[in-house]
Amino acid sequence: MDPSTVTIGGDMPVRRIGYGTMQLTGPGHWGPPADTRNALRILRHAVHDLGIDHLDTADAYGPHTVEELIRQALHPYPDHLIIATKGGMFRPGPNQWTPCGRPAYLRQCVELSLRRLALDRIDLYYLHRIDPTVPLADQLGALDDLRKEGKIRHLGLSKVTADQIDQARGYTTIAAVQNQHSVDTDDPALAYAERHGLAYVAHQPFRADPTFSGASPDGRAERTEHVLRALLQRSAALITIPGTSSHRHLEENSSMISAGFGS
């Protein structure tokens, strides 16, 4: 097994350092970014120059903004690129996130993401958040129907516990789990994913680290490498998707690809 990759769903290998795109939006993750040209350049630089083969996004980022930026920047997509997106979150305004797991809404989310991304099939589609007001069987049943129709390749879950993953696997095949995870995180979902052959995608790996605030460029680059190395050594099932709207930070986050942890 290649330690620099994780194979999602048994047939979709990706490097262990990807790119999370949530920062390519306006304040409160609402509306377009302040500099759209910069966002497009970052996406192209990540994929074409830095060797990133896994982009993570969601229809709720903007909403819809980042999926449209990905298409504008990168379509037609290179063969090696894996695009993961999410659905099932309603955005009434900046910094407002409301789960909506009604089956008809989830089907609409998938169909519109396919259109915005100009895809016939989404490589990895996450239920962005389990909606506690809708039976989980109904939420996953709607997505599993879309998978059987060929519109989704693999299904994932976002922001879930180990018990929720176990329950979900009783209804359909789950290929990946995405939770916030940094060096001080103890998430039982990671051990569950490792035991059951699921990919574990860690977003916001630097969130709990105060040393990034005000650090010098050299100090930040060194700390970035330390954090990413520690995370990737934690589990062979772990993929991390640091996000940024800065070219310099993107390059720092991606530097370990050439060092053998993501290539």
Residue type (1 letter), 101? G
* R_g over Cα of the chain: 17
Rounded Cα distance between 64 and 87, Å, is 11
Name the DSSP class of 17. B
C-alpha neighbours within 13 Å on the C-beta side of residue 95: 2
List 61, 125, 126, 192, catalytic entry: 61
Q: Distance between CA 59 and CA 249 in Å, rounded?
A: 24
Q: Is the peptide bond before 135 cis (omega within 30 degrees of 0)?
A: no
- With beta carbons less than 8 A apart as the criterion, state whether 52 and 18 touch: yes
Taking the chain, what is the end-to-end CA distance rounded to the nearest angstrom? Answer: 13
Gap between the Cα atoms of 167 and 130, Å rounded: 12
Residue type, 262: G
Does residue 77 carry a catalytic annotation?
no
Positions marked active-site:
61
